[in-house]
A and B are shown apart, each in its own frame.
Chain A
Amino acid sequence: METSLLTRKSPFEWWIEPFGSMRVPAIIYADEALIAAMDNKVYEQVTNVAMLPGIVKASYAMPDAHWGYGFPIGGVAAFDPEQGGVVSAGGVGFDISCGVRCLHTGLRREDIEPLKKELADTLYRTVPAGVGSTGRIRLSDSEMDDMLTGGARWAVARELGTAEDLERIEEHGCMQGARPDRVSHHAKHRQRDEMGTLGSGNHYLEVQYVAEIFDTPAAAAFDIQLNDVVVSIHCGSRGLGHQIGTEFLKSMAIAAKDFGIYLPDRELACAPINSPVGQSYLGAMRAAINCAFANRQIITHLTRQAFANVLPQANLVLLYDVSHNTCKVEQHVIDGQPRELFVHRKGATRAFGPGHPDLPPALREVGQPVLIGGSMGTASYILAGTAKGEELSLSSSCHGAGRSMSRHQALKQWHGRQLIDQLAQEGIIIRSPSTRGVAEEAPAAYKDVGAVVDAADVAGLSRKVARLRPMVCIKG
């Protein structure tokens, strides 16, 4: 992206002042190198979002922003229903409530090293991953509706987790306002045998160790120390969320015209929050959030079983579970006035600062854990929400590195088998059903996650707490 198109407000804050149909400015948080590497499409998309009705304050792009669908990936935008604000299926994305969950294991790096291969094989056998994989739990129609209403709470009631797990999930593991009756038969059908599956693409389960601590008091509050072993799970609402996204994208593209909403790009398809289609989407999307919570909870249960078989002394306790594709109703103070807004985060992580009432007591003082996913060979990060983030980005931060190379290019450059061998030499064991999938997800096909996280930290969106290095990666 041409930096000459932007007004630099600080080393990490770039503005596009409103022009044409823009109702608010667009603000990009990144350093100069990240801006230079960003596709011009990010400029176009973050500007387009600023044109939507009822948008409040600004259209934001996080340091990992890249070309998405309508909204940039790494985009944040809040809408006020009292001012004709909209909800957008494209602004949430196909993989509704895709997110990261991080678990303590109670183990140290040296405990895992001698049993790493056995653990990798057991996890790979236990957690279904990849195209066409199916889960062991099949839901009847009424169980499906219960799951869509209850989320992780439903799973815990089925003894697939503990009450303590729920404390460490956004919304306490159960998204209110879910409407299973707004979820189509097709979406439910697509989910029927996908409960407790990782999916494919950039989704994974990793066993990681804490390689670096940046903020000792925050790390202590998160109960992590150098060389502790954690498990990170990255996946979403599976076929159900994909189908809901697909269906509402079409109905909103049609509805927007009826509501007289100007769409600079069809993918921005949206509907007024206070409209039948807007309300139907919100009910269905919230059901999909519960599906993602339940899915990650089942995978957690399977992970605990796998660990119990290989390392019975392990004790997998949930650190936090946070989504990065959502639309949530939140209260934010705008120009001194508290307002209830519908905040879209598309490839962006909620990052509540210290003292936020929605945080569990043990985390309230330090701020919300912000979990940043890596890409097989690269690091992942744990950050914490900041007070400043509220003013800067409605308490939002980045979510990952983002690709720097297309799948096609990656496939030309790497062979899956070689990559697996190379990573094994670096001490990282990969298990995946598809060597082609591994090649397409080559670590070097992604941007430098460290640069993204540094930008989020220096800009003040969230602060660095710890860096994690992979030991085992189960790749979908």
Chain B
Amino acid sequence: MGTNRWEHFSHDADIGIVGIGATEEQAFEQAALAMTAVITDPAGLNPQEIVEIACEAPDDELLFVDWLNALVFEMATRHLLFSRFEVRLDGHRLHGHAWGERVNVEKHQPAVEVKGATLTSLHVQQQADGIWVAQCVVDV
């Protein structure tokens, strides 16, 4: 298994998302993919529309939540589902892009909308082996 991957973890009412990457940026990108997987299978998406994301927060963890919430906003207002991400970090500033496709209910069978990323089980950290993990619970 490669370093870059995503996972879900259980939460009573909702669902936890985890991004794992060789860099902090890649962990953020993988977590975004995990968030899409809450809604639909990312493999079924054709990433043709691009959206630019910029956010800033006082620390890594709030920045991670901001990144996810910026994606939630773009999904909700543009009716897009994203399957490809690119993140650049500069201190506690994030500049990124997300590529996605307009929701097609028949094709994507979206299970649930994500209302927002929460501060619950929120961690952004580099493990002893150098691998970055970014995670939190999302409210659905």
Contacts and interface: CB of A to CB of B under 8 A. Distances in A.
A146 to B, nearest CB: 21
A186 B66 CA distance: 14
Contact of A190 (B8, B39, B73): B73
A94 interface: yes
A356 interface: no
A159 B40 CA distance: 38
Interface string A388-407: 00000000000000110011
Contact of B105 (A69, A132, A242): A132
Given A190-B73, A250-B57, A402-B12, A269 B105 contact: no
Interface in B46-95: 57-58, 61-62, 65-66, 69, 72-73, 76-77, 79
Interface string A231-248: 000000001001101100
Contact of A250 (B12, B66, B105): B66
Contacts of A67: 11-13
A409 B112 contact: no
A437 to B, nearest CB: 4
B73 A243 contact: yes
B116 A94 contact: yes
A435 interface: yes
A66 B12 contact: yes
Interface string B127-140: 00000000001011
Interface string B104-126: 01000111110111111010000
Contacts of B58: 254
A266 B120 CA distance: 7
Interface residues of A, number: 51
A249 B65 CA distance: 10
Counting chain B CB atoms within 10 Å of each CB, which of A41, A131, A245, A246 scores highest?
A131
B22 interface: no
Nearest to A406: B10
A433 B118 CA distance: 26
Given A41-B12, A95-B115, A239 B110 contact: no
A69 B137 contact: yes
A186 B111 contact: no
Contacts of A243: 73, 116
Contacts of B110: 130-132, 200, 433-434, 436-437
Contact of B62 (A94, A95, A189, A250): A250
Contacts of B77: 189-190, 192, 239
Contacts of A192: 77
A212 to B, nearest CB: 28
B112 to A, nearest CB: 5
B71 to A, nearest CB: 12
Given A73-B12, A250-B57, A131 B112 contact: yes
A253 interface: yes
B117 to A, nearest CB: 8
Given A69-B120, A253-B62, A266-B119, A437 B10 contact: no
Contacts of A94: 115-116, 118, 139
Interface in A87-110: 90, 93-95
Nearest to A244: B116
Given A67-B11, A130-B105, A253-B119, A246 B112 contact: no
A189 B66 CA distance: 18
The 10 closest A-B pairs by CB, nearest first: A131-B110, A132-B103, A67-B12, A406-B10, A66-B12, A242-B115, A436-B111, A246-B116, A267-B119, A266-B119
Interface of A: 39, 41, 66-70, 73, 90, 93-95, 130-132, 134, 186, 189-190, 192, 194, 199-201, 239, 242-243, 245-246, 249-250, 253-254, 265-267, 269, 402-403, 406-409, 411, 433-437, 439-440
Given A201-B112, A239-B76, 13 more contacts: A131-B39, A131-B103, A131-B110, A131-B113, A200-B140, A246-B117, A250-B62, A253-B62, A402-B12, A407-B111, A434-B105, A435-B109, A437-B109
Interface of B: 8, 10-15, 38-40, 57-58, 61-62, 65-66, 69, 72-73, 76-77, 79, 103, 105, 109-113, 115-120, 122, 137, 139-140
